[in-house]
Amino acid sequence: MEHNKVDLLNSLVVAFKELPEVYSISVFGSTKDKSADKYSDIDLMVCSTDMVQTSLSFRNAIEKISPIVGYSPFFDERPNIISQIIYLKNFEAFKKIDLTIVPYIGYMAEFNPEITTIFEKDVPVKDSSTILPAITIQTETTSMWFAKYLGFLVGFYKTWNRKSFDYYRYWTVIKDLSLVLQYEDLFGFQENLNKTRLESHELKLLYKTLDANQKSKFEEILPLNGELNIFKSFKVAANLFIDLATKKASYLNRNIDQDFVEYVRAFLNSN
């Protein structure tokens, strides 16, 4: 999975330029200010005169470079927004694509990063001639939910290696979610995917109900003696999340692509 990030960016630009309705391609974030390191993703903003057509063709364009193994959308109540984190099978998760497709720069007024435009062509009107329906939380699938939390796994290792205290935030999310799934594994998996943290009485009941092996794993994640090894805790919690997320999906007869599960496991095992 060792591929050059600059080559990936160049390949993405070529792929999107081939879509006739795409008239502008820009980079932002660390991609724009050239502060990227090996943990940086690719931040890409694309503008289209036909959002419906682009919604149908952008994945095929990307898959000329590598199969898409998983993706996590950002949901929005407004139409004509495609905003996704995309993971490529042939690239490690640090090289994920943070992709935003809109009719024109400034369409999302609250999302206005400094950008560098690397491709632009003249069009009669810088807007979409079609309306793509809003992509809302109601469209979330189990695979999307799983991919969303892969972002937290990536975030932890990225901030840990950069020696940024933001890793604590990522640890907290995965630690809490792994305990929610452990609780549901014992007391019944829930249909919804929204619960992210146990109440204190649920945490006490969970610990009381665990067998000796389960308690041992629990105490690696959340040691009762207060001697926390946060890196080890995260690793145990992340593996538990993967195991129980796939178990929950199977129980609910929902799909998480097995290739994506293995992709996530491989990422976790390599860090």
Q: Residue-wise pLDDT tens for the chain (271 aa)?
A: 345 888 999 999 999 999 999 999 999 876 666 667 888 899 999 999 999 999 999 999 999 999 999 999 999 999 999 999 999 999 999 999 999 999 999 999 888 788 899 999 999 999 999 999 999 999 999 999 999 999 999 999 999 999 999 999 999 999 999 999 999 999 999 998 999 999 999 999 999 999 999 999 999 999 999 999 999 999 999 999 999 999 999 999 998 999 999 999 999 999 9
3-state secondary structure of 69: strand
How many CA within 13 A on the CB side of residue 196?
10
- Going along 110-198, which residue ranges are E strands? 115-120
For the chain, percent helix, then strand, then coil, each to nearest 5?
Answer: 50, 15, 40
**22-28 vs 42-48, strand pairing mode:** antiparallel
Residues 6 or more apart in contact with residue 255 via CB below 8 angstroms? 141, 142, 143, 249
